[in-house]
Amino acid sequence: MATFEIFSKMLNPSREELLLFVKNYSDILIAALLSIVTVLLVPKIARGRVTSSKGSIPGGLGLPIFGETLSFLSTSNSAKGCYDFVRRRRMLYGDWFKTRLFGKIHVYVPSSEGARTIFASDFATFDKAYLKPMSDAVGVDSLLVVAQETHRRIRRLLSDPFSMSSLPTFIQKLDKILCQELKTREESGEKFSVLALSMKLTSDAMCTLLMSVTDDKILRMFEHDCALVSDAMISFPVMIPGTRYYNGMKARARVMKVFKDMIAERRSGKEYSDDFLQSMIERDTCPDNEKLTDAEIMDNLLTLIIAGQTTTSAAMMWSLKFLDENREVLDRLREEQLTIARARPEGASATHEDIKNMPYCVKVMKETLRLANVLVWFPRVATSDCTLEGFEIKKGWRVNIDVTRIHMNPDLFPNPTQFDPSRFDVPEMPKPYSYIPFGSGPRSCLGTNMAKATIMIFLHRVVSGYSWTIHDWDPSLEKMSHIPRLSSGLPITLKAL
């Protein structure tokens, strides 16, 4: 193409090209625009670096109000992922640093001691705090964002489907879906993305467990729309068509409408299987503290699907990559898994009992979660002035437990970038709160047992049934994701053993 034509195309983009540009860069464009306006309106820009005096935390706060939001968004929009924003600042300021994002001062807490203090003071000195787009995505009645008293009630009522007693049924349902999906993919011989498969599996398993949804059209709608809502969690929260935030909020509205219709249908007297949604509806006549409002049911159904799907599916994807890179670990795991598979009658489901007999798989799962850090930090807000390890924290500051730093600290985990399940040969961790993939305390992960079981059943079926070939080794991370995931999704082909 002649140079003139190239320039002419750049200056006169097609409608599709413009839309694609807006979709990919809208958050950064909006943040850049707002930053420029601030620079013009505020006469003195306090760009100064805040240095460390005794008790104060070092860090650069950037522009007034917007702080380093632009840099955060642009790092999140790169192939290194949003945690690179933290990594770079740690190199500049040291382990403890502060920054300003979306108008709030954020402190990153890099130590297991700091994590312990925060977990122990959850609901007292600290409370949960999400960035605005995150709380908009899950809704004001979500377990993730409600205040202490409401949290206690909602958590108690949500706990049932995630108890140990519900696990055997969940494992059977998941195993059935998983076996079918793997068989279909192996038989087709075609390349597929592990991430896409694990997103589908976790979404379907959750929708079946919570609402007994089996209609494929509705399942695909949930999978698609919940992923859009999740994508909106890192975005600039303004309703401009074409942006991630806009698309996420529209998807949220569609999902809410389906939930509302399902609740109305069930109340109209249709018969339904015994599931979480039904158990909530049957509480209609209970006192207020023993039930959920419809808005609470809907926000929390969405929360559970998103919280369970994105985290667990990312861990499943990383587990296959780490195993492929560490063949001696894979061989040992396969030996264990084949013993279990061969002891089971032909065609029978994997069971909860099977999982209890997989000591090496437990270590592989734990090491995957340590190295993958699917939740890169855990956000809180200080509800009063306090100190953390001698550093002053002001009321209203965001305090992020930097679990990635803790899990990658060489003093706690020697040679931390190495995938080495044998670290977990010893039952005790090197220090309390040094291994916290599911958090701790009153806000710890509600789906811990389910997530562990899902990853282990996945590993069991893949490793004992198939070998795989990875078709793309590009280490780039997905852009604008709050969860580190390979942008390739890890494309593989399967071959039956």
Q: Any contact of residue 277 with ligand HEM (CB under 6 A)? A: no
Question: What letters, b where the CB count within 10 A reaches 16 and e where it falls short, cover 151-163?
Answer: bebbeebbeebbe
Q: Using the rule CB under 6 A, is 400 a contact of ligand HEM?
A: no
By CB under 6 A, tell whether 308 contacts ligand HEM. Answer: yes
Torsion sign, CA atoms 269, 270, 274, 280: negative
437 belongs to the binding site for ligand HEM (CB under 6 A): yes
Give first-to-last CA distance, the chain, whole Å: 50
User: Does 404 interact with ligand HEM (rule: CB under 6 A)?
Assistant: no
Residue 445, marked binder: yes
Listed ranges 64-72, 253-261, 411-419, 435-443: which one lies at the site for ligand HEM (CB under 6 A): 435-443
Token digits of residue 144: 């993730």
Residues in CB range of 435: below 8 A, 6 or more apart: 366, 370, 407, 429
CB of 369 to ligand HEM, least distance (A): 6
Which of 108, 111, 122, 110 has its CA nearest to residue 432? 111
Amino acid 267 reads R
Q: Is 350 in the site for ligand HEM (CB under 6 A)?
A: no
Size of the site for ligand HEM (CB under 6 A): 25
Nearest approach, Cβ of residue 11 and ligand HEM (Å): 47
DSSP assignment of 242-289, as one string? TSHHHHHHHHHHHHHHHHHHHHHHHHTT----S-HHHHHHTTTTS-GG
Structural tokens at position 182: 């793997």
Q: How far is the CB of 290 from ligand HEM (least distance, A)?
A: 18
> What is the H or E stretch that residue 354 is in?
helix 352-356
Distance CA 142, CA 483 (A): 19
Q: Does 315 bind ligand HEM (CB under 6 A)?
A: yes
Helix and strand totals (H; E) in the chain? 18, 12
Q: Does 312 bind ligand HEM (CB under 6 A)?
A: yes
Token pair of 449 as six digits: 């047992």
Instruction: Candidates 386, 388, 446, 494: give the one binding ligand HEM (CB under 6 A).
Output: 446
406 forms part of the interface with ligand HEM (CB under 6 A): no
Q: What x-and-dash track marks residues 451-470 binding ligand HEM by CB under 6 A? A: x-------------------
Choosing from 311, 337, 400, 409, the residue that interacts with ligand HEM (CB under 6 A) is 311
Q: Which residue is nearest to ligand HEM (CB)?
A: 447
Q: Which is nearer to ligand HEM, 50 or 137 (CB)?
A: 137
The angle, 0 to 180 degrees and rounded to 10, between the axes of the packed helices 327-343 and 359-372 is 140
Residue ranges in 115-174 that form contacts with ligand HEM under rule CB under 6 A: 143-144, 155
The CB-of-255 to ligand HEM minimum distance in angstroms stands at: 15
User: What is the phi/psi pair of residue 3, to 5°?
Assistant: -55, -40
Between CA 306 and CA 284 the distance in angstroms is 26
Binding mask 196-235 for ligand HEM (x = CB under 6 A): ----------x-----------------------------
Q: Return the residue of 237, 248, 447, 491 that touches ligand HEM, per CB under 6 A.
A: 447
Instruction: Pick the piece of the chain touching ligand HEM (CB under 6 A) from 3-11, 82-90, 238-246, 445-453.
Output: 445-453
Integer CA distances (angstroms), 274 to 50, 153, 155, 278, 284, in order: 57, 22, 20, 6, 16
Residue 302 CB, nearest approach to ligand HEM (Å): 11
Binding residues (CB under 6 A) for ligand HEM: these are: 143-144, 155, 206, 303-304, 307-308, 311-312, 315, 369, 374-375, 378, 437-439, 443-447, 450-451
Binding site listing: 445
